Chain A
Amino acid sequence: MAKFIPAKKYKYGFSSPEAAVFKTKKGLNETVIRQISAAKHETKDMLNFRLNSYRQFLAKPLPSWGPDLSKINFDDIYYYLKPSDREVKNWNSLPSDIKNTYDKLGIPQAERDYLGGVKAQYESEVVYGSLISRLTRQGVIFCSMDEAVNKYPDLVWSHFSQIVPPDDNKFAALNSAVWSGGSFIYIPKGLKVDLPLQAYFRINSQNMGQFERTLIMVDRDAFVHYIEGCTAPKYSTDSLHAAVVEIYIAPGGRCRYTTIQNWSTNVYNLVTKRAYVESGGVMEWVDGNLGSKTTIKYPSTILAGPHAHGQVLSIAVAGSNQILDAGGKAIHLAPHTTSQVISKSISFNGGQSSYRGTVNIAKKARNSRSKVVCDALILDHRSRSDTYPVNKNFSSSSILEHEATVSKIGDDQIFYLMSRGFSQSESEAMIINGFIEPIVKELPMEYGLELNRLINLQMEGSLG
């Protein structure tokens, strides 16, 4: 891996790499890719990278396991669309369930416009701007991926596509070919950024794009917490989201990446997220999956240096017509590394949630330890829950533990709470909130509160 090169100062402000209004035709081919690259004024290197990735995408089959993806029609998608063409034109065009949720959550009108996809910008950007100026003076880079590729090529290419190469899987290849939008973050040595950086505070409106590519680089002993997404339902006219997130953590560095996704139920949400952690580094994935028609996502951590630690905290709430296939992966490649996965999932109203995970402790990962705990609640007889953990221990001095339980809400627990005066649905809500509490308490407070309210709302009317 190349050394970090100090970047020139980044000026916070509005920017949009595309020179003119532009939209490719539907469907994917080399011409479309060349057009995308040209509209972004990219280097030949990036264009070649896209073209090579496209060839990988064509060569790779759909995965033979997991949710059915055969209904995705790759020819019926716009692979590059200016955001204003993608936006929903007015509040009334939003699906009524999304509008109702906003009402019940009490979300202010301005936020609704943004979150509903009606407007591309969020008012508090102005407030946030001063924070960003301070960070920039300290050497932080926080901009869109599109800009970073052009402004800081050496820094970006040192890790871009190294952690998730295009041939990793079909959707990583697709993203590599047509990516647009996403964040680039670089945190310099020793700097611990105390306030979480949030995707939607950046002005660039392609944040919530379909093929986002994010790269975070945390230098030695630095720290950053990045938050992506939001609990309120996000309506997307795009039905395929194939994002890639790569994170590099230098020795002693630490990164927490929090995602809450609540995409509308027309969306296939297929994400490849992976962190590469050097010695003494720490990666924490906090992953909340509420929406989408189908989500496939396994935040992964490669523990490459001694004493590295990786952790995944995951919640999935699958309601009717939803398949949430989530989990986590930990690959131990060095001695004294540790990993932990806590996964909580709820299936109700015919929803299907799966935990899929891999722990692989290599022979050279001596004296390492991994523990995975998955708990799943099935709330009714129409729903389903599956668990597929693969546990590989090739190091005879390391300990690997996995446990999973699937059950419904205990009758004894319900009776107990009701005997204290709470109605059946109040009791169920309290038990469900208690069930997800270990993950919710790791979320920034506003998210935690909203998540609880949102889950209770989803449950309302579908339980006894």
Chain B
Amino acid sequence: MIHLENLTVSVDKKVILSDINFSLKPGQIVYLMGPNGSGKSTIASVLAGHPHYRIESGQIFLDKKDITKLDPDKRANLGLFLSNQSPPAIPGLTVKTFLWQIYKKFHPQQKILLSEFRRLIESESNQLKLNPELLNRGLNDGFSGGERKKMELLQLLVSRARYLILDEIDSGLDIDAIKIIFTKIKKLISDQKLGVLVITHSGSLTKYLAPDRVLILSQGVIKSSGSAALISQIESRGFDK
């Protein structure tokens, strides 16, 4: 379980999140919603350990381990996977090579040949309707927003995530792409009990991946929490209740 306890976060001396409390259980789907500027992406970055943000007070636990001060790579090794809203480019780092290195890191016992691995990722790329040519290019170098999002998912498929944070997955992707991605995520939820935190400002994603729980974030504070029914309230009345 991921658990945020009384978390207050600031950046450049300005408080962005105040006293945040929530949990994400294995196999659970939690939606974190709020208007732009509410601090949703900050929660994603803070969970992953971005050094830009300062934890003023509170703690973060992953499977009972206090990860509040842990480096990003150690959190990744514990099974945390952040799918970025705008992943950066690393020119010259070939996608294929990068995916292979992630795979080896998370599956040290598996003896798979590079050629088999290549076929695997080509097949996944095709299913995601991603041009397999991109596998030979530098990571995200010149890729469109949608292509970058699909790249995030390819990385998810070769690592061994226990908790997935999806930061604004729908921006840059069409409905068909979202459906395919969510189908794959649902499989990981049922096969591996992947816990998923969906960060979004629109309720339309719930059609493709139904939430177990919804949290509404506004101006850095969790204003309300409840079941999926909360979403139709937001749709009719807006975020400010």
Q: Please list the residues of chain A having a beta carbon within 8 angstroms of any beta carbon in chain B.
A: 410-413, 415-424, 427, 430-431, 433-438
With both chains docked as a complex, state the minimum distance between the C-beta of B114 and any C-beta of chain A, in angstroms.
15
Q: Which of B73, B93, B139 has the most CB of A within 10 A?
A: B73
Chain B residues near A417 (CB, 8 Å)?
90
Whether B92 and A419, one on each chain, are in contact in the complex, defined by CB atoms closer than 8 angstroms, is no
Whether A415 and B72, one on each chain, are in contact in the complex, defined by CB atoms closer than 8 angstroms, is yes
The 8 closest A-B pairs by CB, nearest first: A434-B92, A437-B92, A434-B93, A421-B76, A418-B72, A418-B73, A419-B72, A412-B88
Q: A-facing mask of B160-188, CB < 8 A → 1, else 0?
A: 00000000000000000000000000000
Chain A residues near B159 (CB, 8 Å)?
420-421
Task: Please name the residue on chain A nearest to B48 by beta carbon.
Answer: A419
Q: Which of B51, B77, B88, B155 has the most CB of A within 10 A?
A: B88
**In the assembled complex, B87 has its CB within 8 A of some CB on chain A:** yes
Question: Can you list 8 residue pairs at the A/B interface with Cβ under 8 Å?
Answer: A410-B88, A413-B88, A416-B90, A419-B49, A421-B76, A421-B102, A430-B93, A437-B91
**In the assembled complex, B82 has its CB within 8 A of some CB on chain A:** yes
**In the assembled complex, B69 has its CB within 8 A of some CB on chain A:** no
Whether B52 and A411, one on each chain, are in contact in the complex, defined by CB atoms closer than 8 angstroms, is yes
Whether B92 and A416, one on each chain, are in contact in the complex, defined by CB atoms closer than 8 angstroms, is no
Chain B residues near A416 (CB, 8 Å)?
84, 87-88, 90
Whether B73 and A424, one on each chain, are in contact in the complex, defined by CB atoms closer than 8 angstroms, is yes
CA distance A420 to B87 in the complex (A): 12
With A416-B84, A434-B138 given, is the CB distance from A421 to B50 under 8 Å? no
Whether A419 and B76, one on each chain, are in contact in the complex, defined by CB atoms closer than 8 angstroms, is yes
Which residues of B from 50 to 69 have beta carbons under 8 Å from A? 50-52
Q: Please list the residues of chain B having a beta carbon within 8 angstroms of any beta carbon in chain A.
A: 48-52, 71-73, 75-77, 80, 82, 84, 87-88, 90-94, 98, 101-102, 105-106, 138-139, 155, 159
Chain A residues near B87 (CB, 8 Å)?
416
Chain B residues near A411 (CB, 8 Å)?
51-52
Contact of B102 among A410, A415, A420 (CB under 8 A): A420
With A415-B72, A420-B76, A423-B73 given, is the CB distance from A431 to B52 under 8 Å? no
Q: Which of A416, A417, A421, A427 has the most CB of B within 10 A?
A: A421
With both chains docked as a complex, state the minimum distance between the C-beta of B94 and any C-beta of chain A, in angstroms.
8
Chain A residues near B49 (CB, 8 Å)?
415, 418-419
With A415-B50, A415-B51 given, is the CB distance from A420 to B92 under 8 Å? no
Chain A residues near B106 (CB, 8 Å)?
421
With both chains docked as a complex, state the minimum distance between the C-beta of A284 and any C-beta of chain B, in angstroms.
20
CA distance A211 to B197 in the complex (A): 66
CA distance A434 to B76 in the complex (A): 22
Chain A residues near B76 (CB, 8 Å)?
418-421
Contact of A433 among B48, B82, B92 (CB under 8 A): B92
Contact of B91 among A419, A420, A421, A435 (CB under 8 A): A435
